[in-house]
Amino acid sequence: MNVDAAAERLYERVRTCDLCPLWTTRTNAVPGEGPLNAEVMFIGEAPGVNEDRQGRPFVGAAGQFLDELFAAAGLKRDGVYICNVLKCRPPGNRDPQPGEIEACRDYLDEQIDILDPLVIVTLGRFSMAKFFPNQAISRIHGQPKEVAGRFYVPMYHPAAALHQGSLRQVMLDDFAKLPALLERARKAQVRPAPPFPMAFVEAASAGPAAPLAPPPAAPTPPEAAAVPAGMATFEPETASAPELAAPPRLAEAPEHPEPSAPPEAATAGRPTQIRLFD
Ligand code: URA
Ligand code: SF4
Protein backbone atom coordinates (compact mmCIF):
# COMPACT_ATOMS: atom_id res chain seq x y z
CA MET A 1 0.00 0.00 0.00
CA ASN A 2 1.44 3.40 -0.87
CA VAL A 3 1.41 6.32 1.51
CA ASP A 4 -1.58 8.02 -0.14
CA ALA A 5 -3.68 4.94 0.34
CA ALA A 6 -2.35 4.44 3.87
CA ALA A 7 -3.27 8.03 4.79
CA GLU A 8 -6.71 7.83 3.21
CA ARG A 9 -7.48 4.65 5.11
CA LEU A 10 -6.24 6.21 8.31
CA TYR A 11 -8.40 9.32 7.80
CA GLU A 12 -11.43 7.16 7.16
CA ARG A 13 -10.81 5.18 10.33
CA VAL A 14 -10.49 8.42 12.29
CA ARG A 15 -13.70 9.86 10.83
CA THR A 16 -15.63 6.79 11.89
CA CYS A 17 -13.73 6.10 15.12
CA ASP A 18 -15.56 5.25 18.32
CA LEU A 19 -12.59 4.18 20.43
CA CYS A 20 -13.21 6.83 23.09
CA PRO A 21 -16.34 8.69 24.20
CA LEU A 22 -15.39 11.85 22.31
CA TRP A 23 -17.00 10.39 19.21
CA THR A 24 -20.41 11.00 20.75
CA THR A 25 -19.96 14.78 21.02
CA ARG A 26 -17.97 15.56 17.88
CA THR A 27 -19.41 17.16 14.77
CA ASN A 28 -16.41 16.20 12.68
CA ALA A 29 -13.27 14.33 13.52
CA VAL A 30 -10.10 16.21 12.56
CA PRO A 31 -7.56 13.69 11.29
CA GLY A 32 -4.97 16.25 10.18
CA GLU A 33 -3.90 17.66 6.86
CA GLY A 34 -0.96 18.55 4.69
CA PRO A 35 1.26 16.98 2.07
CA LEU A 36 2.37 13.49 2.99
CA ASN A 37 5.92 14.28 1.92
CA ALA A 38 6.14 17.30 4.25
CA GLU A 39 9.46 17.64 6.00
CA VAL A 40 7.96 19.29 9.07
CA MET A 41 5.06 17.96 11.13
CA PHE A 42 3.24 20.10 13.71
CA ILE A 43 1.32 18.35 16.46
CA GLY A 44 -1.23 20.33 18.46
CA GLU A 45 -3.53 19.29 21.26
CA ALA A 46 -7.08 18.70 20.09
CA PRO A 47 -9.67 20.31 17.84
CA GLY A 48 -11.53 23.34 19.17
CA VAL A 49 -15.01 24.46 18.22
CA ASN A 50 -14.05 25.78 14.78
CA GLU A 51 -11.96 22.74 13.95
CA ASP A 52 -14.82 20.48 15.04
CA ARG A 53 -17.16 22.36 12.69
CA GLN A 54 -14.84 22.28 9.70
CA GLY A 55 -12.98 19.00 10.23
CA ARG A 56 -9.67 20.80 9.75
CA PRO A 57 -6.88 21.56 12.27
CA PHE A 58 -6.02 25.05 13.50
CA VAL A 59 -8.64 27.06 11.62
CA GLY A 60 -9.66 29.29 14.56
CA ALA A 61 -7.86 32.09 16.39
CA ALA A 62 -4.93 29.91 17.41
CA GLY A 63 -4.64 28.87 13.78
CA GLN A 64 -4.41 32.48 12.67
CA PHE A 65 -1.48 33.05 14.96
CA LEU A 66 0.01 29.77 13.79
CA ASP A 67 -0.05 31.18 10.26
CA GLU A 68 1.97 34.15 11.51
CA LEU A 69 4.40 31.76 13.12
CA PHE A 70 4.73 29.81 9.88
CA ALA A 71 5.58 33.06 8.13
CA ALA A 72 8.25 33.79 10.75
CA ALA A 73 9.71 30.37 9.97
CA GLY A 74 9.54 30.88 6.21
CA LEU A 75 7.00 28.08 6.01
CA LYS A 76 3.72 27.90 4.17
CA ARG A 77 0.76 26.18 5.74
CA ASP A 78 0.21 24.07 2.66
CA GLY A 79 3.82 22.88 2.76
CA VAL A 80 3.69 21.39 6.24
CA TYR A 81 1.65 18.68 7.94
CA ILE A 82 -0.60 19.64 10.85
CA CYS A 83 -2.42 17.33 13.22
CA ASN A 84 -3.32 16.89 16.87
CA VAL A 85 -2.88 14.45 19.73
CA LEU A 86 -6.67 14.02 19.84
CA LYS A 87 -8.67 13.86 16.65
CA CYS A 88 -12.01 14.79 18.27
CA ARG A 89 -12.93 17.85 20.29
CA PRO A 90 -13.16 17.53 24.06
CA PRO A 91 -16.43 19.19 25.11
CA GLY A 92 -15.98 22.76 26.27
CA ASN A 93 -12.33 22.63 25.18
CA ARG A 94 -11.37 20.86 28.38
CA ASP A 95 -7.97 19.21 28.60
CA PRO A 96 -7.54 15.83 26.94
CA GLN A 97 -7.84 12.98 29.41
CA PRO A 98 -5.19 10.26 29.65
CA GLY A 99 -7.61 7.57 28.44
CA GLU A 100 -8.51 9.65 25.39
CA ILE A 101 -4.87 10.24 24.54
CA GLU A 102 -4.18 6.53 24.85
CA ALA A 103 -7.19 5.59 22.73
CA CYS A 104 -6.17 8.03 20.01
CA ARG A 105 -2.47 7.32 20.15
CA ASP A 106 -2.18 4.80 17.32
CA TYR A 107 -3.53 7.31 14.82
CA LEU A 108 -0.82 9.83 15.60
CA ASP A 109 1.84 7.13 15.61
CA GLU A 110 0.68 5.97 12.19
CA GLN A 111 0.76 9.53 10.90
CA ILE A 112 4.35 9.92 12.04
CA ASP A 113 5.11 6.58 10.42
CA ILE A 114 3.52 7.59 7.12
CA LEU A 115 5.02 11.10 7.05
CA ASP A 116 8.44 10.13 8.37
CA PRO A 117 9.17 13.84 8.89
CA LEU A 118 12.60 15.33 9.38
CA VAL A 119 11.32 17.67 12.08
CA ILE A 120 8.45 17.24 14.54
CA VAL A 121 7.25 20.42 16.25
CA THR A 122 5.06 19.94 19.28
CA LEU A 123 2.58 22.68 20.11
CA GLY A 124 1.67 22.78 23.78
CA ARG A 125 2.15 20.44 26.66
CA PHE A 126 0.10 17.43 25.54
CA SER A 127 2.08 16.82 22.38
CA MET A 128 5.29 17.81 24.17
CA ALA A 129 4.63 15.15 26.81
CA LYS A 130 4.63 12.45 24.15
CA PHE A 131 8.29 13.10 23.33
CA PHE A 132 9.57 15.05 26.34
CA PRO A 133 7.99 13.48 29.42
CA ASN A 134 8.33 15.35 32.70
CA GLN A 135 9.74 18.47 31.11
CA ALA A 136 8.68 22.06 31.61
CA ILE A 137 7.85 23.97 28.44
CA SER A 138 9.15 27.18 30.02
CA ARG A 139 12.58 25.57 30.22
CA ILE A 140 12.86 23.65 26.95
CA HIS A 141 10.75 25.61 24.45
CA GLY A 142 12.44 26.14 21.11
CA GLN A 143 15.28 23.73 21.89
CA PRO A 144 15.58 20.91 19.37
CA LYS A 145 16.55 17.39 20.32
CA GLU A 146 17.87 15.02 17.72
CA VAL A 147 17.09 11.35 17.87
CA ALA A 148 18.26 9.11 15.05
CA GLY A 149 18.34 11.93 12.56
CA ARG A 150 14.93 13.34 13.37
CA PHE A 151 14.64 16.62 15.24
CA TYR A 152 11.95 17.21 17.84
CA VAL A 153 11.20 20.80 18.86
CA PRO A 154 8.86 21.65 21.73
CA MET A 155 7.02 24.94 21.23
CA TYR A 156 4.44 26.76 23.27
CA HIS A 157 0.88 26.35 22.06
CA PRO A 158 -0.20 29.29 19.87
CA ALA A 159 -3.31 29.72 22.04
CA ALA A 160 -1.04 30.37 25.02
CA ALA A 161 0.26 33.49 23.28
CA LEU A 162 -3.31 34.68 22.77
CA HIS A 163 -3.84 34.57 26.53
CA GLN A 164 -0.39 35.75 27.55
CA GLY A 165 0.81 38.45 25.21
CA SER A 166 4.44 38.26 26.28
CA LEU A 167 4.67 34.79 24.73
CA ARG A 168 4.03 36.14 21.24
CA GLN A 169 7.56 37.31 20.68
CA VAL A 170 8.98 34.26 22.41
CA MET A 171 7.12 32.05 19.96
CA LEU A 172 8.06 34.16 16.95
CA ASP A 173 11.70 33.91 17.99
CA ASP A 174 11.46 30.15 18.52
CA PHE A 175 9.85 29.63 15.11
CA ALA A 176 12.47 31.84 13.45
CA LYS A 177 15.01 29.18 14.38
CA LEU A 178 13.26 26.50 12.34
CA PRO A 179 14.80 27.21 8.90
CA ALA A 180 18.35 26.63 10.16
CA LEU A 181 17.22 23.51 11.98
CA LEU A 182 15.53 22.17 8.88
CA GLU A 183 18.68 22.76 6.91
CA ARG A 184 20.64 20.87 9.54
CA ALA A 185 18.13 18.03 9.45
CA ARG A 186 18.37 17.81 5.67
CA LYS A 187 22.14 17.59 5.84
CA ALA A 188 21.97 14.91 8.50
CA GLN A 189 19.98 12.60 6.28
CA VAL A 190 21.73 9.34 5.77
CA ARG A 191 21.49 7.20 2.69
CA PRO A 192 20.69 3.52 2.99
CA ALA A 193 23.65 1.33 3.82
CA PRO A 194 23.44 -1.53 1.31
CA PRO A 195 24.12 0.41 -1.91
CA PHE A 196 27.30 1.93 -0.49
CA PRO A 197 30.51 0.01 0.14
CA MET A 198 32.01 0.58 3.59
CA ALA A 199 34.93 2.43 2.03
CA PHE A 200 32.60 5.02 0.64
CA VAL A 201 30.93 5.55 3.96
CA GLU A 202 34.26 5.74 5.79
CA ALA A 203 35.72 8.18 3.30
CA ALA A 204 32.65 10.35 3.53
CA SER A 205 32.53 10.27 7.28
CA ALA A 206 34.20 13.06 9.24
CA GLY A 207 34.38 11.04 12.45
CA PRO A 208 34.67 7.33 13.19
CA ALA A 209 32.70 5.21 10.79
CA ALA A 210 29.25 4.28 11.90
CA PRO A 211 28.76 0.59 12.58
CA LEU A 212 26.98 -0.49 9.47
CA ALA A 213 25.72 -3.96 8.83
CA PRO A 214 27.43 -5.80 5.98
CA PRO A 215 25.55 -5.59 2.71
CA PRO A 216 23.07 -8.42 2.29
CA ALA A 217 23.73 -11.09 -0.30
CA ALA A 218 20.70 -10.22 -2.34
CA PRO A 219 19.59 -6.64 -3.02
CA THR A 220 16.97 -5.50 -0.57
CA PRO A 221 14.81 -2.40 -0.52
CA PRO A 222 16.50 0.52 1.26
CA GLU A 223 13.80 0.63 3.93
CA ALA A 224 14.68 -2.91 4.92
CA ALA A 225 18.32 -1.98 5.46
CA ALA A 226 19.94 -2.44 8.83
CA VAL A 227 19.83 0.67 10.94
CA PRO A 228 23.17 1.86 12.27
CA ALA A 229 23.14 1.69 16.04
CA GLY A 230 24.06 4.43 18.44
CA MET A 231 23.20 7.29 16.15
CA ALA A 232 21.18 9.42 18.48
CA THR A 233 22.78 12.50 20.00
CA PHE A 234 19.83 12.92 22.32
CA GLU A 235 20.81 13.26 25.96
CA PRO A 236 17.66 12.51 27.86
CA GLU A 237 17.30 14.89 30.74
CA THR A 238 14.96 12.53 32.49
CA ALA A 239 14.13 8.88 32.23
CA SER A 240 14.34 7.78 28.62
CA ALA A 241 11.30 8.51 26.52
CA PRO A 242 10.08 5.35 24.81
CA GLU A 243 8.60 7.49 22.02
CA LEU A 244 12.08 8.64 21.14
CA ALA A 245 13.75 5.26 20.87
CA ALA A 246 13.74 5.39 17.10
CA PRO A 247 11.59 6.93 14.43
CA PRO A 248 8.95 4.56 13.21
CA ARG A 249 9.44 3.27 9.72
CA LEU A 250 6.93 2.66 7.02
CA ALA A 251 6.95 -1.09 6.56
CA GLU A 252 7.26 -1.02 2.82
CA ALA A 253 9.83 -0.02 0.27
CA PRO A 254 9.53 3.50 -1.11
CA GLU A 255 8.32 3.72 -4.64
CA HIS A 256 10.90 6.27 -5.69
CA PRO A 257 14.06 5.91 -3.64
CA GLU A 258 16.66 8.50 -4.38
CA PRO A 259 19.24 6.88 -6.65
CA SER A 260 22.36 8.31 -5.09
CA ALA A 261 23.57 10.60 -2.36
CA PRO A 262 26.21 13.27 -2.01
CA PRO A 263 29.08 12.17 0.24
CA GLU A 264 28.16 14.59 3.00
CA ALA A 265 24.76 12.96 3.24
CA ALA A 266 26.30 9.73 4.48
CA THR A 267 27.99 11.16 7.53
CA ALA A 268 25.71 10.94 10.49
CA GLY A 269 22.33 10.80 12.02
CA ARG A 270 19.45 9.47 10.10
CA PRO A 271 19.41 5.77 9.34
CA THR A 272 17.43 5.93 6.13
CA GLN A 273 15.64 9.04 5.09
CA ILE A 274 13.89 8.57 1.80
CA ARG A 275 11.67 11.37 0.59
CA LEU A 276 8.84 9.44 -0.91
CA PHE A 277 7.55 11.98 -3.38
CA ASP A 278 10.48 14.11 -4.47
N1 URA B 1 -5.74 23.92 19.16
C2 URA B 1 -5.15 22.75 18.89
O3 URA B 1 -4.37 22.23 19.66
N4 URA B 1 -5.43 22.14 17.74
C5 URA B 1 -6.26 22.66 16.83
O6 URA B 1 -6.45 22.04 15.79
C7 URA B 1 -6.87 23.90 17.13
C8 URA B 1 -6.60 24.50 18.31
FE1 SF4 C 1 -11.35 7.96 18.20
FE2 SF4 C 1 -9.43 9.70 18.83
FE3 SF4 C 1 -11.87 10.58 18.28
FE4 SF4 C 1 -11.43 9.26 20.54
S5 SF4 C 1 -10.54 11.25 19.98
S6 SF4 C 1 -13.14 8.93 19.14
S7 SF4 C 1 -9.88 7.76 19.89
S8 SF4 C 1 -10.48 9.55 16.86
21-38 pLDDT, tens per residue? 999 999 999 999 999 999
CB 156 within 8 A of CB 170: yes
Query: Rounded to whole angstroms, how far apart are CA atoms 231 and 247?
Result: 12
Ligand 1 centroid distance, CA of 159 (Å): 8
Domain segments of the chain as ranges: 3-204
Confidence of residue 17 (pLDDT cuts 50, 70, 90): very high
Q: Which atom of ligand 1 is nearest to the CA of 158?
A: 1
Query: Rounded to whole angstroms, how far apart are CA atoms 188 and 149?
Result: 6
Mean pLDDT (whole number) for 147-166: 97
Does 130 have pLDDT greater than 60?
yes
Q: Any idea which architecture 3-204 has in CATH? A: 3-Layer(aba) Sandwich (3.40)
Ligand 2 centroid distance, CA of 113 (Å): 18
| CB-based contacts of 113, cutoff 8 Å, min separation 6 | 248, 249, 250
Strand partners, 82: 33, 42
Confidence of residue 228 (pLDDT cuts 50, 70, 90): very low
pLDDT confidence of residue 207 = 45
Give the residue, out of 84, 89, 156, with the most ligand 1 atoms within 8 A of its beta carbon, to mutate for a pocket test.
Answer: 84
Mean pLDDT (whole number) for 252-268: 39
51 lines ligand 1 (CB under 6 A): yes
Protein residue with least CA distance to atom 4, ligand 2: 20
42-94 pLDDT, tens per residue? 999 999 999 999 999 999 999 999 999 999 999 999 999 999 999 999 999 99
